[in-house]
Amino acid sequence: MVHQSPRSSAEYVDLMEQWGRHFTCIAPDTPGFGQSDSLPGEPDIADFADALVEALDAIGVRQCPAYGFHSGGIILMTAVKRHPRRFVCLAIGGYAVWTPDELALFGDSYLPPFRPTPYGEHLAWLWNRMLEQSWFFPWFDLRDETRLPGAHADLARVQQAVMEMLDAGDAYRAGYGAVLRAPRDIPPVNAHVPPVLITAYAGDPLQAHIGRLGDLPAGWVARKVASPAQHQEDSLAFLLKHGGSGLCPPLAEDEREGWLRIHGTTIHWRGERGAAVLALHRPASELAEPLAGEVAIDAPGHGLSEAFGAIDSIMREAAAQLEVRGIRFPPAPPGDPAQLYPCLTPDRFGAHLLRAWGAARAEALFQPWYSADKDHAILIDPAALAPGAIASRARARLRAGDAAIPYHHYLQTLNGETQ
């Protein structure tokens, strides 16, 4: 399952739960998005398609059905042309066939650089860009003719897209740009390729592109559908018809990184199983690269770990599953937790992003960060004030959100007992 740009595999969480009754669903982060590293140099669409096939090699999947939406469909289409025997069938949601005028309109405006600025101005742009991309297409072309019928101000959806862009950073331009520049050469009608279904629902700006596809190979179908639900239903039916259901045992974990299931929640870890020490991070931050002989986890609700109430039992069970001999607890930061961790619930105008940035910047200048006076000034570390460093801390705060305060209280209860 290949995601669209500039998103990540997280967009498929709900769909994987539905389709997981029929398939073992695997959704990689394409290079440069989510938790995947970028490809070197200036990659083109063939590089992204080949990287997908290399990922299948790495996890031992020789052949499978596949699904992709928008950019994910472009990557899969390229992969099936280059490696037709690796796929049983494809289901694609919306396949873009741009005219020269449309490509000229995109130009450099569609993919501006995305780099942190010292005072967080880039976050105001990011919030509004992600908010308005459901209002207009392209998002920067504000005309009545470009309005989309499915406009929304769903804060949870906007926040998810914002967080995925914060993960990708400026690397989003390489992946998205490769998709926009990709040739739209549908295989000839006599090509020996697996069956493909292309659908686009009403309200998807790519529905009009169904009529641009031209003649299709045998076994290929392209049609317009009424709704996102129908697109997903038709896609699933097509995948089951041509690919059959397929469940396989869990894939082998990376030896130095993975996820634990504890009391129904997922905890992210990195390092060495059986290490001497389980290293924990401070509230509103996330795990650092573990030292030799250590393993680290993202505390519940932080980083890539899910939130859960029973923090102590999570920690102890994580230590047991990772077979460590001890836990290193950081001290609780000085200050009032209610002020240390301001509310970061998504705001209609994106103000929560600036709150996270302001706190992340000020904590490099004062301790506690909210006491901006001479008595609480700390020595300045220029590296901590670099925009990239502030961006990392602000993103960690946004990921933690309300989970930071209970974790802080948990560390406070251990003060003097485990130091």
The CATH number of residue 223's host domain is 3.40.50.1820
Query: What pLDDT is stored for residue 419 in this prediction?
Result: 39
Query: What pLDDT is stored for residue 252 in this prediction?
Result: 72
Domain's final residue, options 195, 222, 243: 243
Domain's final residue, options 189, 223, 243: 243
Q: Specify if 141 maps to a domain.
A: no
Rounded to 5°, the CA angle 120-281-274 comes to 140
Give the strand order in the sheet containing 87-93.
64-69, 87-93, 196-201, 220-225
What is the rounded average pLDDT of the residues 121-139? 96
Same domain, 89 and 229: yes
pLDDT surpassing 90 at residue 35? yes
Q: Specify if 120 maps to a domain.
A: no
In angstroms, the CA 188 to CA 191 distance is 5
In angstroms, the CA 354 to CA 357 distance is 5
In angstroms, the CA 377 to CA 363 distance is 10
Number of domains in the chain: 2
In angstroms, the CA 410 to CA 404 distance is 10
Q: Structural domain of residue 413, as residue ranges?
A: 253-419
pLDDT, averaged across the chain: 94
Q: Which helix (H) or strand (E) holds 294?
A: strand 294-297
Same domain, 182 and 270: no
Rounded to 5°, the CA angle 107-113-117 comes to 150
Helix (H, G, I), strand (E, B) or coil at 149: coil
pTM for this entry: 0.92
Confidence of residue 122 (pLDDT cuts 50, 70, 90): very high
What is the rounded average pLDDT of the residues 369-391? 97
Same domain, 52 and 180: yes
Q: Specify if 161 maps to a domain.
A: no
Contact 97, 209 (CB under 8 A): yes
Same domain, 216 and 300: no
Confidence of residue 200 (pLDDT cuts 50, 70, 90): very high
Same domain, 310 and 333: yes
Nearest to 148 by CA among 162, 131, 172, 164: 131
pLDDT surpassing 80 at residue 249? no
Distant-in-sequence, close-in-space partners of 37: CB < 8 Å, separation ≥ 6: 31
Same domain, 222 and 321: no
Distant-in-sequence, close-in-space partners of 74: CB < 8 Å, separation ≥ 6: 45, 68, 95, 96, 179, 182
Contact 117, 387 (CB under 8 A): yes
What is the rounded average pLDDT of the residues 227-255? 89
Q: Which helix (H) or strand (E) holds 358?
A: helix 351-362
- Residue, of 309 and 259, whose pLDDT is higher: 259
Query: What pLDDT is stored for residue 262 in this prediction?
Result: 93
Same domain, 360 and 316: yes
Question: What is the SS3 assignment for 253-287?
Answer: CECCEEEEEECCEEEEEEECCCCCEEECCCCCCCC
Q: Specify if 168 maps to a domain.
A: no
Same domain, 203 and 276: no
Could you identify the residue written with the tokens 């992709």? 68
Q: Specify if 362 maps to a domain.
A: yes
Q: Specify if 225 maps to a domain.
A: yes
Q: Which helix (H) or strand (E) holds 220?
A: strand 220-225
Q: Specify if 86 maps to a domain.
A: yes
- According to DSSP, the β-strands at 294-297 and 265-271 are antiparallel
Rounded to 5°, the CA angle 172-176-182 comes to 150
Nearest to 170 by CA among 394, 391, 374, 414: 391
What is the rounded average pLDDT of the residues 162-180? 95
Same domain, 328 and 221: no
Domain's final residue, options 192, 220, 243: 243
In angstroms, the CA 25 to CA 248 distance is 10
Contact 79, 187 (CB under 8 A): no
| Sign, CA torsion 263/301/34/37 | negative
Q: Specify if 184 maps to a domain.
A: yes
Same domain, 215 and 279: no
Same domain, 182 and 322: no
Same domain, 393 and 300: yes
